[in-house]
Amino acid sequence: MWPFQGPTRPPQRVAEPGVALVDLPDVLLSEIAGKLRKRDAVYLAATCSRLMAAVLHGSSDSSGHAARWRWITSPEDPGKGVLRKLLATPAASLPGSRPWVGWCGVYVSLADAGLLLASHPGDGEQRFERIVHVTRRFVSRECALGMIKTFGGVEQLAFPEHMPALEEIDLAHHWNLAPCFLPASSAGRVRYLRLDSSRLCRLPDNMQQLRHLSIKDCWNLTPDWLPAASRTSVRSIDAYGSPIGGFPPGVPNLEIIDIGRCTRLNQTDWLPSDSAQRVRVLRAELSHLRRLPAMPRLEELYIEETRHLTEGFLCAESWANLRVLSARDSRLVRLGEAMPRLEELCVAECARLAEDWLREGAAPSLRIVRAARSGLRRLPPGLSALRVVDVTQCTLAPQWLDETSAGGVACLQADDSNIERLPANMGALEQLYLGRCKCLDEAFLPPSSARRLVGVVLNDTNVVHLPRGMSSLQYVNVSGCHGLAEDWLPQDSASRIVLFKADQSNLKSLPAGMEQLRQIHIVGCAALNRDFLPHDSAQSVRVIWASGSNIGRLPAMRSLEDIDVRTCNHLERDFLPDHGFPALQKIDAWYSNLARLPEGLERIEQIECRGCQRLDAKWLPQSSAGRVKSLNASKSNLAALPSRMSSLETLILDGCSGLRRKFLPPSSAARVRLLDVSHTHITRVPAGLRALQRLKINGCGDLGRDWLPNDSARTVEHVFAAHSAVQRIPTDRMLALQTIDLRGCTELQEPWLAPDATSLRDVDVLRAGS
């Protein structure tokens, strides 16, 4: 038996010295069980009946009600044993608890789970063929004994009679539904019905408790697809992509409708008035509607990519309670006269917006406006509740944002727009995005709008100086800016910056006093001064990404953890001072002119120096080698590793043509699990690799007959030796071997496997040939 997530560790039996967990009082035991993660609780529940009872009693959802546990048992003997433990618990009688158990696709309530242990027709091997999953993962079925397995073949799917507890059905993509697939005696309590992309013609009668119906892409629906007896309780209908002509009358509780891509709706009466009275959410993306009926309780309307809506598509009664309107890429011209509750508006990509698209005072509660790539020219005055504005790629009027609407804006996104200067008195502004804005004035940000700014993005702009007064600034992005002055960042705007990005810019240096700086991104910066980073601005930095830059040296940085200097060819020999980087954990210096690493790298774990051809003979000092777990020096001039690399686990040296005969000292080999020496001139794998699991010697053409020492062979599981000079595989010593790749090994000699190789059971791949 298992839940949807498997257990990770066994439960602890001892709550305090001398007290077993099962001996605790019921109240305390249930409280402990309720604190566990679900997978651990399930593992605990499987140990004995009393602990299972504690788990079921101690579980509750976010609202405080007993959780609805879903148990899926296997047909094997352990599953039967756990099922018996379930039956021994009193959890089925808990008020508000509705646990159910699944057995080979049959789902019943826990109170009826004893039926699963009784004999059934077709028991044993035939049970899988007679009783399996009819629905998918969203389905809970109770008292569903006798369901028949179908795979969409000749046999049509039909539920049996008398399933009074059936509540949820998911038969999406089932193309072989019987005309009367759900008998009336089994439909009475169904609440959730999903039949997407099925051959449904008409819903069953007598579904008085149906709440949620999904019939997306059902192309065989008849005009009377929703019978009168099944309409009264329906709250949500998802008919996306179905060719329905409309909804029937008499659906008084309907709240959520999705008619996206419904192109055959009747334009005049697709939603009768008695069915529209309680509708709160309407999704009509890509529909062909011209007008919408009166929906006095409408709160959310989604009409993205509609092409046929007329200017007065929504009556005044429907605007009254609207909170969210999304009309992206539609032909919207202007909005209603009064939308007192409208909070979120999306008119992105609406190219036909009129100059007066939103009347002044029409939306006093508006908080979010998203108008990227639209025809918006200005926002009306009086939007005092406005907090988020997105006018990316808009051609804005000079006075596009009135001060009465700008005062509360916290986030302004205007990338790639024609903005020259922001309005004054944007005192609440915290996030500003002006990337690729080529028309920015030198004083584009008034001091009154700068004091609360937390993040500024100005990538690929013509900015020369950042404005003063940004005392709260924590994030700045000037990547791609090629006109930055020497003093581009004022001191009063730099003191609280945490993340700094200036990739591909003409940055020369950072200012002093950036004491909270954590990350520096200067990828591709070719104009950096030798001392571009002041000492006081470097002490809190944890990450530096400077690949492709002309960086030469760094000051001592006691907090630095990760540095990337790939393809940096101006590194000085001592670009990292000795004993100046005690927190450094990773360095990536692929294809750079790195010569050596400093003394005192006490926490370094990962070194990437692929393609480095200028490494000194003693490039890694002993004081910095002890904690290294991963070293990738492929295609470098490395000849040998230092001794006492006692933590080394991954060693990649493929393409290192200058490796010495004893390139790996025994003191550095003990923990290596992955060794890649492909395309090198080694004649023998090093000795002392007692933990080796994966060995790559592809293309090693100088290997001798005794290429693998005894002490390095015992733990090897995978060998990749394609196109190498391997002559034989010592499987008598490779007791853990699972995979061998010998493609293109033309020097194999008989017998190339030991005589007892046939006893190996873990060889998954054995490919040999010339």
Are 71 and 38 within 8 A, CB to CB? no
So what's the pLDDT on residue 671? 96
pLDDT of residue 72: 44
137: pLDDT strictly greater than 80: no
Contact, 669 vs 693, CB < 8 A? no
Please determine, for residue 455, whether its predicted confidence score (pLDDT) is greater than 60.
Answer: yes
- The whole-angstrom separation of Cα 331 and Cα 607 is 56
Pick the residue with more confidence: 518 or 308? 518
CB atoms within 10 A of CB 669: 25
User: How many helices and strands, by DSSP H and E, does the chain display?
Assistant: 13, 33
Q: What is the DSSP string of 81-131?
A: HHHHHHHTSSGGGSTT---EEEETTEEEEGGGTHHHHS--TT-GGGHHHHS
Pull the structure tokens for residue 467: 């404005």
Q: Please give the residue that has the higher pLDDT: either 337 or 10.
A: 337
Q: How confident is the model at residue 55 (pLDDT cuts 50, 70, 90)?
A: low
* Region 639-770: CATH code: 3.80.10.10
Please say if the pLDDT value at position 465 is more than 50: yes
For 608, the 3-state DSSP assignment is strand
Provide mean pLDDT across the span 36-63: 60
Q: Looking at residues 214-242, what average pLDDT do you find?
A: 94
- Residue 721: which pLDDT band, with cuts at 50, 70 and 90? very high
Q: Is 50 exceeded by the pLDDT of residue 132?
A: no
pLDDT at 92 over 60: no
- Write phi, then psi, for 288 (nearest 5 degrees): -105, 20
- Average pLDDT over the chain reads 83
Q: Report pLDDT digits (tens) over 417-427.
A: 999 999 988 99
Smallest Cα–Cα separation from 68: which of 92, 99, 108, 109? Answer: 99
Residue 253: pLDDT over 90: yes
CA distance 527 to 503: 11
Please list, in sequence order, all residues whose beta carbon lies within 8 angstroms of the beta carbon of residue 640, skipping any fewer than 6 positions away. 659, 660, 662, 663, 664, 665
Residue the block writes with tokens 């395309």? 679
Instruction: Average the pLDDT over each of 26-35, 529-538, 628-637, 760-769 and give the range with the smallest value.
Output: 760-769
As a whole number, mean pLDDT of residues 487-491 equals 90
Q: Give me the DSSP letters along 155-175.
A: SPB-PPS--TT--EEE-TT--
Helix (H, G, I), strand (E, B) or coil at 186: helix
Q: Which of 183-187, 453-457, 497-501, 536-540 is the least confident region?
A: 183-187
Residue 106 has pLDDT above 70, yes or no: no
Among residues of the chain, what percentage have pLDDT more than 70?
77
Model pLDDT, residue 75: 43
Give the mean model confidence (pLDDT) for residues 449-472. Answer: 94
Is residue 765 within 8 A of residue 740, CB to CB? The reply is yes
User: Where along the chain do its domains lie?
Assistant: 14-99, 639-770
| The two three-digit tokens of residue 143, written as one number | 């008292």
Q: What Cα–Cα distance (Å) separates residue 107 from each residue in 52, 94, 128, 168, 398?
A: 19, 19, 14, 11, 66
Task: Name the residue with tokens 């069915």.
Answer: 275
97 touches 105 (CB < 8 A): no
3-state secondary structure 707-759: CCCHHHHCCCCEEECCCCCCCCECCCCCCCCCEEEECCCCCCCCCCECHHHHH
Return the structure tokens found at 589: 């210096």
Return the pLDDT at 6. Answer: 32
| Mean pLDDT in residue range 525-536 | 95
CA 751, 753, 759, 765 dihedral sign is negative
> What pLDDT, on a 0 to 100 scale, did the predictor assign at position 342?
96
Distance CA 369, CA 695 (A): 58
Split at pLDDT 50, 70, 90, the class of 17 is: very low
The predicted pLDDT at position 12 comes to 37
Percent of the chain with pLDDT over 90: 61
Give me 494's structure tokens. 């730099």
Determine contact, residues 520/543, Cβ cutoff 8 Å: yes
**Calpha distance 295→274 (Å, rounded):** 10
pLDDT for residue 558: 95
| The two three-digit tokens of residue 465, written as one number | 């100086």
Nearest to 534 by CA among 568, 506, 508: 508
From 288, 295, 292, 283, select the one nearest 312 (Cα to Cα): 292
753 pLDDT more than 70? no
Q: What is the pLDDT of residue 150?
A: 33
Closest CA to 729 of 756, 704, 746, 754: 754
Q: For residue 356, give the nearest of 331, 383, 384, 337 by alpha carbon.
A: 337
Q: Which two tokens stand for residue 620?
A: 């890694």
DSSP state of 132: -
Amino acid at 187: A
What CA–CA distance (Å, rounded) separates 432 from 441? Answer: 15
Separation of alpha carbons 606 and 276, rounded Å? 63
Please state the rounded mean pLDDT for residues 263-273: 91
Task: Give the per-residue pLDDT at 730.
Answer: 84
Q: Per-residue b/e over 630-664, b at no fewer than 16 CB within 10 Å? A: bbbbbbbbbeebbeebeebbbbbbbbbeebeeebb
Contact in structure between 283 and 258 (CB atoms under 8 Å): yes
Q: CA angle, corner 618, sides to 612 and 619, nearest 5?
A: 35
Q: Please check the confidence at residue 393 and state whether its pLDDT lies above 70.
A: yes
Query: Strand runs (DSSP E) across 391-518, as ranges?
Result: 411-413, 431-433, 455-457, 475-477, 499-501
Which residue has tokens 């060889």?
763
From CA 604, how far away is CA 581, in angstroms rounded? 9
Helix (H) / strand (E) containing 28: helix 26-35
Model confidence band, residue 15 (pLDDT cutoffs 50, 70, 90): very low
How many residues in the chain?
Answer: 770
> Mind spelling out the 3-state secondary structure of 627-645?
CCCEEECCCCCCCCCCCCC
- pLDDT of 569 over the 80 cut: yes
Torsion of CA 274, 280, 286, 292, to 10 degrees: 40
- Residue 145 to residue 105: CA distance in whole angstroms: 9
Q: Which two tokens stand for residue 641?
A: 């590793």
pLDDT band at 542 (very low <50, low <70, confident <90, very high): very high
Does residue 480 sit in helix, strand or coil? coil
First to last CA, the chain: 49
- Helix (H) / strand (E) element for 276: namely helix 273-276
Closest CA relative to residue 89, chosen from 48, 122, 125: 48
Whether the full predicted model's pTM is greater than 0.85, yes or no, is no
What pLDDT, on the 0 to 100 scale, is given for residue 109? 62
3-class DSSP state of 545: strand
Structure confidence by residue, pLDDT tens digits, 169-202: 878 887 777 788 888 888 888 888 989 988 889 9
Which pLDDT does position 53 carry in this prediction?
A: 64
pLDDT at 392: 97
The whole-number pLDDT of residue 184 equals 83
- Collapsing DSSP states into helix, strand and coil, what is residue 675? strand
Q: Which of 5-19, 309-323, 646-660, 753-767 has the highest mean pLDDT?
A: 646-660
Checking if the pLDDT of 31 tops 50, the result is yes
